[in-house]
Amino acid sequence: MIETLGLTAERCIELLDAGEISCRELMAAYLERIEREDGDLHAFLRTRGERALAEAERFDSEGRSGLQGVPIALKDILCTRGEETTAGSRILEGHLPLYDAGVVTRLRAAGLVPLGKTNMDEFAMGSSTENSGFGPTHNPWDRERVPGGSSGGSAAAVAAGFAPLSLGTDTGGSIRQPAALCGVVGMKPTYGAVSRHGLIAFASSLDQVGPFALTVRDCALALAAIAGHDRCDSTSVPLPDPIAVPDREDLSGVTIGVPESLLAQGVEPGVRESFDQAMRLAEGLGASVHEVELPHAPYALPAYYLIAPAEASANLARFDGVRYGLRLEEAGDSIIEMYGRTRARGFGDEVKRRIMLGTYALSSGYYDAYYGSAQRVRTLIRRDFDSAFAGCDVIASPTSPTVAFRIGERADDPWAMYASDVLTVPVNLAGLPGISIPSGLAEGLPVGFQLVGPAFAENRILQVAHALEGAIAFDPTPPGMREAAR
């Protein structure tokens, strides 16, 4: 059976094209590896087993090309028709959606075969996947550490060789941060580039679906399969250019901006060192580097933690036990008591914390001071980026100020947990595309390098990331797993 650890989607396609392996064999290899290794990691909440095999086999019998027959893992926040979708929450345990999410329809049209649903922080609220209603996911690089979050399961799945590609969602860094902590590539597209139809909403004005992969080229392949206008999402728009698989090897003529003042605080020395090394490599490839200012970026985190909970407080109000999901009721309960009982048990602490924060921020008399101010900050941050991009092509920073932290280390300190997102959140507030690629190791753990571009400059950041990836030459295989594979 083929070794899936370190196997890229492009290599899968080569093997399938050459007839060296069948779609069924490929799928079976991934499922077998998940079966063997995921007990410790808990990247998956569910795999599709026989169904995935049957779908793969159809491509063997009917003929295939392109991405057809390549497996992909889906964050459990994406609705799959007739197949359990929980958003990591007990309140949706057993929920069978009546329809496929827009991205699921698209990736199926491209022939990608979903192999299962990955673990996540409940309703995508968290930066460690510890807030899952179904237990945490462990980092393939160190089982004692978190994989990041909220799309920790999808990041860990790709790092551990459980899937060549996966999808996550990114509201404040939920793709880029776990990609960084697991040593894989993860991309958040421009707001509106990918359909949110069937993505169980956390914060509607910030949520975007995006891919995880081992390489930037694989990431582009997956993004090309899911991006584009969907008439079921009013906020989605047609892309100005199709997503292209990058092939650039040098960075001559490219100007990279670095927001130095933003990096002055909280970035671990090992992370900083890896970042500086990557920037030297970029210069070596011909890029010119200069400092840019994002004067309002320090206000991004507080603004984000008003806007996102406010939207979440409305988005999560529908989980009331009336029509689907968990319902807890005792004899004599009024409907309000039934709501209370269901929500008290169905939601975890972080979700409750954010519902309360958001409800408060929208309350009569506080709206202007909180939600209103946060929206004004958001406008200022967007303008900061506009000004910065007048002088550079892309903006670079570390993705996360730290490497993967220990499970439990920040669980009781929400503000320390929120600080994980300090470098990713401004990008969501501005609606811009961002990618995280591994820039190396610090303390033996992966460090993420973030590139951000103007709206709809996905192809530009993919080209820069690809060129840099070649120079960095990171080995994405977690050492423990390498030995196990041998």
Partner 1 sequence: MSDRYEPVIGLEIHVQLNTATKMFCACENRYGAEPNTLTCPLCLGHPGVLPLINDGAVDRAIAIGLALNCEIAERCQFHRKNYFYPDSPKAYQITQYDEPICGEGHVDVDGSRVGIVRAHLEEDAAKLVHAGGSAGRIAGAEYSVVDFNRCGTPLVEIVTEPDLRSPEQAIAFLMLLRTTLRTIGVSDCDMEKGSLRCDANVSVRETGSDRLGTKTELKNMNSFKFLGEGMAAEIERQIGVLDGGGAVEQETLHYDPATRSLSSLRSKEEAHDYRYFPEPDLVPLAPSHRIERIRAELPELPAARMARFRDELGLPQQYATDLNQEARVADYFEQVTAAGADPKAAADWVLNQPGSVDTVPAASLAALTGLIAEGTITSTIAKQVYGLLEQDPGADPAVLVEREGLASIGGGGELEAMVDKVIAENPGLVEQFQGGKEGVLNALVGQIMRETKGRADARQVQQLFRDRIG
For binding to partner 1 (CB under 8 A), which residues are involved?
A: 78-79, 85, 87, 92, 95, 97-99, 101, 196-201, 203-205, 231-235, 310-311, 313-314, 317-320, 322-324, 335-336, 339, 359, 362-364, 367, 371
In whole angstroms, what separates CA 93 from the centre of its chain?
22
Contact 16, 29 (CB under 8 A): no
Q: Rounded to an integer, what distance in angstroms lies between the CA atom of residue 447 and that of residue 427?
A: 19
CB-nearer residue toward partner 1: 11 or 341 = 341
CB-nearer residue toward partner 1: 138 or 343 = 343
Q: Rounded to an integer, what distance in angstroms lies between the CA atom of residue 165 and that of residue 220?
A: 11
User: 3-state class of 181 per DSSP?
Assistant: helix
In whole angstroms, what separates CA 409 from the centre of its chain?
22
Q: Which residue of the set 22, 128, 150, 436 is catalytic?
A: 150
Q: Report the chain's terminal Cα–Cα distance, integer Å.
A: 13
Do you know the residue count of the chain?
486
Contact 279, 256 (CB under 8 A): yes
Query: Shortest approach of partner 1 to residue 335 CB, angstroms?
Result: 6
CB-nearer residue toward partner 1: 102 or 398 = 102
CB-nearer residue toward partner 1: 67 or 203 = 203
Query: Shortest approach of partner 1 to residue 362 CB, angstroms?
Result: 4
CB-nearer residue toward partner 1: 33 or 197 = 197
Q: Answer yes or no: 117 catalytic.
A: no
User: 3-state class of 450 per DSSP?
Assistant: strand
In whole angstroms, what separates CA 130 from the centre of its chain?
15
CB-nearer residue toward partner 1: 238 or 266 = 238
Exposed/middle/buried for residue 34 (C-beta within 10 Å: 0-12, 13-18, 19+): buried
Query: Shortest approach of partner 1 to residue 277 CB, angstroms?
Result: 39
CB-nearer residue toward partner 1: 31 or 101 = 101
- The residues, any chain, with a CB within 8 Å of residue 415's CB and separated by 6 or more, are none
Query: Shortest approach of partner 1 to residue 82 CB, angstroms?
Result: 13
CB-nearer residue toward partner 1: 40 or 366 = 366
Q: Answer yes or no: 174 catalytic.
A: yes
Query: Shortest approach of partner 1 to residue 167 CB, angstroms?
Result: 14
Q: Which residue of the set 174, 274, 313, 436 is catalytic?
A: 174
Query: Shortest approach of partner 1 to residue 376 CB, angstroms?
Result: 13
CB-nearer residue toward partner 1: 92 or 422 = 92
Cis peptide before 65 (omega within 30 of 0): no
Nearest 5°: the CA angle 394, 398, 402 is 165
- The DSSP element (H or E) to which 12 belongs, if any, is helix 9-17
Could you tell me if residue 431 is left (phi over 0), alpha (psi between -120 and 50 degrees) or otherwise beta?
left
Q: Which tokens sit at 277?
A: 């090394």
Q: Rounded to an integer, what distance in angstroms lies between the CA atom of residue 356 and that of residue 374?
A: 17
Nearest 5°: the CA angle 24, 218, 142 is 85
Q: Answer yes or no: 205 catalytic.
A: no
Query: Shortest approach of partner 1 to residue 200 CB, angstroms?
Result: 4
Nearest to residue 471, comparing CAs of 184, 277, 313? 277
Query: Shortest approach of partner 1 to residue 248 CB, angstroms?
Result: 34
User: 3-state class of 297 per DSSP?
Assistant: helix
Query: Shortest approach of partner 1 to residue 203 CB, angstroms?
Result: 8
3-state secondary structure string across 186-246: EEECCCCCECCCCECCCCCCCCEEEEEECCHHHHHHHHHHHECCCCCCCCCCCCCCCCCCC
Exposed/middle/buried for residue 50 (C-beta within 10 Å: 0-12, 13-18, 19+): exposed
Residues catalogued as catalytic: 75, 150, 174
